[in-house]
Structure 1
Amino acid sequence: MARSEDKAAAQNEALVDTRVDSFLVREGRAIRPDLHRARFGAGYPALDDAPQHGEWFPRVAVSGVVWRPAPRLRTETTLWVPPTPDPRLHPLTKGPDLALLGTLRAEAQSHGADDALLYGEEGVVHEAANAALVFFDEEGPLMGPANWVLESTTLRATVEAGLMPKPRRAEIRLAEALELQAWCASALHGWTRVTRWIVEGKMVQAAAHTADPANTADPENTKTGRINARLWESAVDVTAR
């Protein structure tokens, strides 16, 4: 019994040590850094050396922080539907499955997409490989089952700011998902509209975003763009505790 308990403790310790966090930092400020710290848990390193100029995308781990220049941001997302279901072993912890998710994103990009859809054995949609996924029907926002969806700091910040109702949980199957308006939520890109799907090698136009004006050439003139702007208006010093 003691040996099995020791093994379980070692596995838990290894899981803790693989936790990671990352989010956009602009001019030394970030959206709700407190939520990132709370989700990560014990061992979150200090961010006192945060650059005060430019855009950064730090990789935060128990071992420390690596300050990486932020990649180019996008305002729309194309999602690729892979042929196999969600491969994650630890869907509620950010970090342990990072290599798997990185491979999925690379595959998605090879198909002309930005990210990959994660779904279960029965075809129920979970989320995107590197973003939360929120759908909209006539009753409001909805998202996948809680036991398969990582807590999204961007979504929580949006709901707590009164910019969106809390999404209800639902079992959304792929066929239904393709017919619903969808947004991705990322701590890097913020909210982006899902505008295309790639299914079995074919590009499928996503459901129209009816809340947006007909001319959406200006990303700030979309609902997602306006929410992102509101969130950044309340951004705080990334070192705030």
Structure 2
Amino acid sequence: MDGKHQADHGQYKVRLERRLASVINGFDKDYEQISGSAQNDKLLTFKSLNIDHEFHFYLFSQEGELTYWSDIDMVPDFNNFSTSKEYQLLDNNRGIYFTKLRKLTRNNKDYWVLQVHPFFDKVEIDNEYLESGYNPDIFGNDRFLLSGSPKENYQEIHFDGEYLFSIFFRVGYDPPGKSINHTLLIFFFSLLGLVLLIGGGFVYTLWSKGQKNSCNHLYLYYSFLCKGNYAFLSFSQ
């Protein structure tokens, strides 16, 4: 791998770790709500756990019995994750999820709280407004591979020094937001070409009629328009 690709991959890693830090902070805020609601009720019930939350979560008994689920579209199997890891990837027939696992004690009884954030949706959705595949809030496209353990040539992702998972950025990977910038560039140059095409003929007509002052004003206007669009694109990146 050449120096440029190494630098790019290093930047991708930093951006991904920042986004995951935000996800983990969201996990922690939700957990405070979960543990707080549990303390106010003698029993853990669906009613007591019916709280506002950002991320879906599930409660299991120490024996692995599912006692609460906030989402019915994906219900994880207790055997699909390790109780010895706080952070891990959960891979099942619905998708790949980033998870955080911890204990919750209520009335001297311990539960496992599993919080999940989708990385990749494997389910095909027949709806033009919903998309399956990679999570665009985390990844720019699907040109990546994930591993739940360290692997050669993979970037190791950490949070506060703790290992989360590994990722391999394949050729053609873009971080989130880059595809939007590409779309903006295409739109900008298409619009600019249209303006110049229409305006060029108008300027020529004015010039041929001797209205040079009007031509100069139009030239200044087009210059301002181009600089304004360029500044907008630079800011969006």
Q: How would you bin the TM-score normalised by the shorter chain?
A: under 0.3
Higher RCO (C-alpha under 8 Å, 6+ residues apart): 1
Flag the structure with larger Rg: 2
Q: TM-score, normalised by structure 1?
A: 0.23
Q: TM-score, normalised by structure 2?
A: 0.23
Identify the structure with the greater helix proportion: 2
